[in-house]
Structure 1
Amino acid sequence: MAGSTTTAVVAHGADDVRVEQIAVPSPGPGEAVVAVAYGGICGSDLHYWRHGAVGDSILRAPMILGHEVAGTVVRAADDGTGPASGTPVTVHPATYEHTDVRFPASSPNLSPGVRYLGSAARFPHTDGAFAGEVVLPAAMLRELPAGLGLRVAALVEPASVAWHAASQAGDLGGKRVLVVGSGPIGALVVAVAKRAGAAEIVAVDLHDKPLDIATALGATRTLRATEPAAIAAVDADVVFESSGNHRGLASAIAGATRGGTVVMVGLLPSGDQPVPVSLAITGELRLVGSLRFNDEIDEVIAAIADGSLAVEPVITHTYPVAEALEALEVAADASVSGKVLLAF
C-alpha cells in the first residue's frame, strides 16, 4: 500500500538494470494503487537495459521499466473515478499533455505531448510499472471482463499495437498478408489478421521459434528471412514490417503486390536508412506508418475475452521479478523466446 516499499525493476544506465526496493508514492487526485501481477518485457525495455537509450530517448536518471502490465486495484482513486478496489485491470500506458503542435484530433498517439510509462523521451522521465505496487491515473486503467486472466491480460498492450497496425491497412478480409518479422508484435499481427479474415498469412523470420508461434496464431505459411526470392514471390496485398530493420523493410517492399500496402510497425533506428524506395514508387505502394495505439485497447480486451483473438501462444516464459535480469537475457534471444513475462 502507499507509504510502504515494493520491489521494482529499475534501469540506471546501459547494462545496469537493478531489482531494488523503492517507496510506493502516495496517490494524488484521480490516482489509484495497483498491485501488478504480470508485466511483459518489450523491445524498449531491452534497449534501455542494453544501451541506456531507445533511439533519441536517453536515460538521464534511474527509471522504472515496463508498460505492458496487468494487476488488481488495491486502492481506488479517492475522487471516485476509475475501477473499485479489488478490480482486475490492465493499463493503457499513455497520458497526454497539451501542446501547440498540430496532429489529427482522432490520433492522440501522434501528439508530441504524450507521456508513456517507462519512457525516457522526456525529463523528468516517466517511470514504468515493473513494480509490485504502482500508483497510476485511474483513467489509465481498464477493467478486465470475467474470464480474462491477469497473465494473458499482460498481452493487451502489445496486442493493441498490432490491432492499430492492422487498422492502418484497412479491411484485411480475403487479403493475402505478409508479416516480416515474427517476434511478439509480428506474431500478434498474425493473430489480428486471422481474426480479420485474411485469406492467407505468410510469416517471415530468421528463427524457428517465432515462426512456430506465428503458425500457432494463424500463419498459413512461413519463410526464412534469408529467402529473398521467396519473399518477393509472395505478392502480398498487405505487408506488415515488424522487424524494425532496414533489410526487413526492403523485404516488405519487395514482397508487396503492385498497388499494395506496406504498414511500417517496427521502429527503425534514427537517421537515414538504405531502403529501395524506387520500388515503392514504381509499384505505387502505399507506405503507412503505425505508432502505438489509441482507444483500440478496449476492442482488444473484448476480443481476447470472447476468444476471437488468440494471443496466449505468444507467451513463452514467465520469471519471478527477482530473476528479472535472466528474463531480460532470455527476452533478448529471439531464437528461444516470444513474449517473456515477469511475475510480481
Structure 2
Amino acid sequence: MKAIFDDRQWRHDPKHFMANGKVMPSPEQPARIEKLTAGAQAAGCTMQGCDDAGMGPIAALHSPEYLVFLQNIYERWQRIPNAGAEVIPNVHPANRTDNYPRSAVGQAGFHQADTACPIGEGTWEAAYWSAQVAITGADLLAAGERAAYALSRPPGHHAYGDMAGGFCFLNNSGIAAERLRAKGLRPAILDVDVHHGNGTQGIFYDRDDVLTVSLHADPTRFYPFFWGHADERGEGRGLGYNLNLPLPRGTDDTAYLKSLDVALDRIVAFGADVVVVALGLDAFEGDPFQGFAVTTPGFARIGAAIAGLELPTLFVQEGGYLCDELGENLTSVLTGFEAA
C-alpha cells in the first residue's frame, strides 16, 4: 500500500487547547507525524509525496470566503495591538446567517467553532498540504490502486464548509470523497474516529451522492456534543444518506465490531464503489481522550472488516493522539486490511 505525506504538514504547531476551563498544550502535536509514519512503514507502506492539485478540489467543498480567511487571518491578527501568538476566537454569532463582520476578531468567531483550532503562522500551509495528501490518495484509487493511506495532518472531519473546529481546518476526507465523485465514482465515507465527524456530516447532509456513516462515542456527554445523534439522518435529497451510530463510552472490540457491521451493510446498500475511511485511532483504550476501549488487535479486526467490502479504500488520517501505541494501532489497521 502506498502512503502519502508532505513535509510542509509539520508547520502547524498549535500551542493552545482548553478543556473544562483549563488551558493546556494541544494534543494535536506535530510529533504525531513521527509515530504515524513509523506505523505506516511497519505495515509495509511505501512512503511518497503528494501532487499539488491546486485550490479547485478544496474549493469544491469550502467557501471562498472561508478560504480567504484561512490564508490571511494570521497576518491580520498580528496587526492587532497586544494580540496573542495564535488566532483564537472569543466571540461567536448565534446563527450562521448573522452579520459577517469586517473585524479579524469577529471573523475568527465566525469561522472557528471552538478554541481547539488555533491558527498559527504555519497553519494554512500545513492544512493545504494535508488536503493535497488526501487528494493524491483519491487520485491513486481512481487510477486503479486497491488501497492507499493519506497521512493527513492536521486532521479534517470536524471542519465544515466555512468553519474550523476540533483541530480541523479543511475536511480532508470530504475533499477526497468529492474528488472521487467528480471522477465518476460513488463514494461512501466511513468515519471510525471516536468523535463524530460533524463537519463531514454538515457538508453532505442534504446530498444523496455521497453516503456518510460515523461510529463514535455518544455525543450527549462527549465532543462535539451538538451533532452526531442517531436521529440525524440527512435532509432534503440527503434524507437517509447519513447514518450515525453513537456508542456508549468504554465500548470494547466486540461491541464496536457489531456496530461496524451495521455501518458496512449501509455502505453496501448505498451501492458504493469506493470507500473513504476517516481513520481516527482515538478509539484506542489508551488514547488520551478515553472514549472507547478498542485494543490494538481490535484495530486489525476493524481493518479486516472494512476489507470485506472488497472496494477500493482510502484511509485518511483523522484523530489518534500521542501514546506509545499510536503507531502500532495504525500498523494493526493497515495490516488487518491487507491480510484479509
Q: TM-score range by the shorter chain?
A: 0.3 to 0.5
Structure with more strand by fraction: 1
Please state which structure has a larger fraction of its residues in helix: 2
TM-score by length of 2: 0.33
